[in-house]
Amino acid sequence: MKPPAFDYLRAESIAGALSAFQEKDGDAVYLAGGHSVVPSLNLRLQAPSSLIDISAIDTLSGISRHDGWLRIGAMTRHVDVLKNPEIGKHAPLFQAAAPHVAHPAIRNRGTIGGSLSLADPASEFPAVALALRAEMEVVNPQGLRRVPADDFFIDIFETDMESGEILQAVWIPPVQAGQVHAFDELARRQGDYAMVGVAISGILLAGILSEIRIAFLSVGNKPTRAVAAEAALIGLPVNAAAIAVAQEELEKDLDPPEDPQLPPAARKHMARVLLGRTLTTLGASA
Ligand SMILES: Cc1cc2nc3c(=O)[nH]c(=O)nc-3n(C[C@H](O)[C@H](O)[C@H](O)COP(=O)(O)OP(=O)(O)OC[C@H]3O[C@@H](n4cnc5c(N)ncnc54)[C@H](O)[C@@H]3O)c2cc1C
């Protein structure tokens, strides 16, 4: 199908993009990589009067470090998340997840900012951002604010951003001594959206876990922390006994929706299996 007719505007600055959005009275959509917007136009899921292309705005690009934090500009393409050495060093969990995002053609155009702004509960990067305690740099006509990932993802395709706000960058906290990570997902075919996935970041020193964040994707309306499983692991070595307890505790954390293609019980079973695999990887990486 072809999209409905729309005006195309190419913004040169954040101020230009924000004021173009206001002039359209909100009847506009920002265009980043276009790999979610364009299919949704073609399927007539939305029909904005204007697309405001934000891909040429300088402040949305670049990967840099400030006081130990890593700042990844919103227009960073998935392929750069996969290959950039700074991300590999300071946010390796993103690189572990990136090969699971779609296919190379989509990774060449899709952006980290588009993925986080869209907040598809089946997407990899929102779960990674949650596991890493990332913060979102959001800009509006009044200025900037930083929103922790725990508060950013609100519901299916819904974030803390108001209509017209722009996600400018994602900030990753400094890597700590003993920090370990693991990512895995189950999909029907390589490159498909995950049926279930999990991103884990933890601190493992002298064989003992002192901190862990476990964030699942594709188990509910938004990326979901497994807080009971996390609590069961703190202060323990990551061995078979601890993993078994965490898998039991996961029952308290997940409540997947009814889905004729994948019943909740099957999804929970997959989540338990994935948790076992990723925790085993985590333990081995110490
Ligand atoms: C066949 C196919 C398979 C896919 N498989 C996967 C997959 O397995 N995993 C996965 O995670 N994704 C998958 N995707 C989605 C892909 O990763 C998208 O590129 C991504 O989700 C959106 O990024 P984008 O840059 O293309 O955003 P766009 O499509 O340009 O925008 C997406 C939404 O975010 C808004 N937006 C974009 N950037 C900003 C910003 N900086 N500030 C505010 N709002 C913004 C737009 O207005 C729009 O509403 C798939 C897509 C296709 C077509």
pLDDT digits (tens, 9 = 90+) for 113-133: 999 999 999 999 999 999 999
Residue 2 covered by a domain: no
pTM score above 0.75? yes
What are the tens digits of pLDDT across the range 58-97?
999 999 999 999 999 999 999 999 999 999 999 999 999 9
How far is it, in rounded angstroms, from Cα 235 to Cα 207?
10
Same domain, 30 and 98: no
How far does the centroid of ligand 1 lie from the alpha carbon of residue 121, in Å?
12
How far is it, in rounded angstroms, from Cα 265 to Cα 93?
28
CA distances from 241 to 101, 157, 178, 216, 279 (A): 32, 37, 21, 22, 11
What residues contact residue 266 under an 8 Å CB cut-off, 6+ apart? none
What is the number of the ligand 1 atom nearest to the C-alpha of 192? 8
H-assigned helices in 119-178? 124-131, 149-152
Same domain, 84 and 183: no
Residue 26 pLDDT grade (very low, low, confident, very high; cuts 50, 70, 90): confident
Find out whether the beta carbon of 41 lies less than 6 Å from any atom of ligand 1. no
Amino acid at position 259, single letter: D
Residue 78 covered by a domain: yes
Compute how many other C-beta atoms are within 10 angstroms of the C-beta atom of residue 229. 28
Do residues 160 and 71 lie in contact, with contact meaning Cβ atoms separated by under 8 Å?
A: no
Q: Which of 36, 54, 116, 165 to mutate to test the pocket of ligand 1 (most atoms within 8 A of CB)?
A: 36
> Closest Cα partner for 33 from 99, 95, 113?
113
How far does the centroid of ligand 1 lie from the alpha carbon of residue 29, in Å?
12
Q: What is the mean pLDDT of the chain?
A: 96
How far does the centroid of ligand 1 lie from the alpha carbon of residue 112, in Å?
8
Same domain, 95 and 138: yes
- Average the pLDDT over 220-227 and give the result: 98
How far is it, in rounded angstroms, from Cα 229 to Cα 243?
9
| Ligand 1 atom 53, closest CA | 35
Residue 269 covered by a domain: yes
Structural domains of the chain, count: 3
Q: Which of 52, 106, 184 to mutate to test the pocket of ligand 1 (most atoms within 8 A of CB)?
A: 106
- The domain spanning residue 20 has which CATH number? 3.30.43.10
Do residues 128 and 94 lie in contact, with contact meaning Cβ atoms separated by under 8 Å?
A: yes
Same domain, 67 and 113: yes
Compute how many other C-beta atoms are within 10 angstroms of the C-beta atom of residue 46. 11
Query: Which residues lie across from 224 on neighbouring strands?
Result: 216
How far is C-alpha 129 from the chain's CA centre? 5
What are the tens digits of pLDDT across the range 182-201?
999 999 998 899 999 999 99
Residue 135 pLDDT grade (very low, low, confident, very high; cuts 50, 70, 90): very high
Amino acid at position 112, single letter: I
Same domain, 114 and 163: yes
How far does the centroid of ligand 1 lie from the alpha carbon of residue 163, in Å?
17
Q: Which of 115, 120, 186 to mutate to test the pocket of ligand 1 (most atoms within 8 A of CB)?
A: 115
What are the tens digits of pLDDT across the range 244-256?
999 999 999 999 9
Supply the range of the domain harboring residue 34: 7-53
**pLDDT on residue 190:** 86
Do residues 101 and 125 lie in contact, with contact meaning Cβ atoms separated by under 8 Å?
A: yes
How far is it, in rounded angstroms, from Cα 286 to Cα 269?
27
H-assigned helices in 132-216? 149-152
Q: Is the pLDDT of residue 205 over 80?
A: yes
